[in-house]
Amino acid sequence: MDATVKVLEAVASRFDLNLAMTSALMGGAAIDATGEPLPAATLDQCRASDAVLLACIGGYKWDDLPRATRPETGLLALRKQLGLFANLRPAKSFAQLEGASSLKDEVVNGVDLMVVRELTGGVYFGTPKGIDTDPSTGARVGYSNMVYHDYEVQRIARVAMDIAMKRGKAVVSVDKANVLEVSQLWREEVIKVAADYPEVDLSHMYVDNAAMQLVRWPKQFDVLVTGNLFGDVLSDCASMLVGSLGMLPSASLGDGSGPGVFEPVHGSAPDIAGQDKANPVACVLSAAMMLRYALAETDAADAVEAAVEAVLNAGWRTGDIMSDGKTLVGCKRMGELLVEAVSAGGK
């Protein structure tokens, strides 16, 4: 986040943007300061803003807390409270990162897909849920409930179709309709929405097959639309097409009445925390998505993305994307290089 704020300051100065930035605590830092993962003051501050840029929220220190006060609970509450039902996770390969993916270059070169993940429903939020004792056997039993209402499916399907209309006009809806009733409803509702988008080519894939197809031949995909849990899993999987989770931004959007949240797909990587090793690019590209989608500053967004390209072209790499012949830098230096590239200009 420190690196990204500096990049935003640089782009604001270059394009004369009047960008007022404030910061608020959330996740582990908020738990330490207030005992809660999402303090009311933070939520109010988010609501009063045009957009929220979110860093990462967890770590070993908070892993054993009761669920209600865990960092992740704060993140889910933020998404729910701001009504952010649509999570956009683009995976676009960078020509400069050839060799960084664990998959063969011919499989990943030219990948350009978008995972549209439903974010405020499904098994993450469905009730009943809990850990109880089965009265008849005395066995412990844990349960969560995958629930979708027709309107939840319809609105995320519309987001996916609208995005597809601006891209390759192809949507694959991912479900498990061969087993789950909730997925059967999902599929039926997606098909209904697709009737309004005659130009979009809609197909359906079971989630197990989709996972396999993503690593077999990802270039078959344009837009994938799926539920909360399947999208969580598939978007991590898609990140490896680009070479590193450290490169993937995301946008979480609602109906437009409040701010969206822009955050890297990756988590807090507690194993390398404080070592200046993290890749700031996912957060910087999330800021670019924020400029583009929330603030309508297209030139500034283009400039930030161009800066990432320029720094990669010049051979600078953090550890997660390092390869032979490139120059290894830490998080801070990578941030400085991005600031220099933004300030130097070029689109």
Site for ligand IPM in 176-235 (CB under 6 A): 232
82 touching ligand IPM, by CB under 6 A: no
Q: What are the angstrom distances between the C-alpha of 267 and each of 30, 44, 57, 246?
A: 16, 24, 7, 9
Read off the tokens for 83.
């009504």
Residue 36 is a binding residue for Mg ion (CB under 5 A): no
Please identify which of the residues 176, 197, 222, 320 carries the catalytic annotation.
176
Binding mask 175-214 for Mg ion (x = CB under 5 A): ----------------------------------------
User: At a CB cut-off of 8 Å and minimum separation 6, what does 319 contact?
Assistant: 277, 279, 328
Q: Is residue 176 among the annotated active site residues?
A: yes
Nearer to ligand IPM among residue 96 and residue 250 (C-beta):
250
Tell me, yes or no, if 150 is annotated catalytic.
Answer: no
Paired residues of 88 in beta bridges: 116, 251
- 75 binds ligand IPM per the rule CB under 6 A: yes
Q: Please pick, among 6, 197, 222, 232, the residue that the annotation labels catalytic.
A: 232
> CB–CB of 237/211 below 8 Å?
yes
Distances 62 to 65, 66, 177 between C-alpha atoms, Å: 6, 9, 37
Minimum gap (Å) between residue 267 Cβ and ligand IPM: 6
Single residue of 83, 126, 168, 267 touching ligand IPM by CB under 6 A: 267
With CA atoms as reference, report the closest residue to 254 among 211, 287, 293: 293
Tell me if 330 contacts ligand IPM by CB under 6 A: no
By the 10 Å C-beta count (0-12 exposed, 13-18 middle, 19+ buried), 120 is classed as buried
The secondary structure of 95-110, three-state, reads HHHCCCCCCCHHHHCC
According to the binding rule CB under 6 A, does residue 72 interact with ligand IPM?
yes
Select from 152, 175, 232, 320 the one that contacts Mg ion (CB under 5 A). Answer: 232
Answer yes or no: 61 catalytic: no
What is the contact surface with ligand IPM in residues (CB under 6 A)? Answer: 72, 75, 232, 267
Residues forming the active site:
124, 176, 208, 232, 236
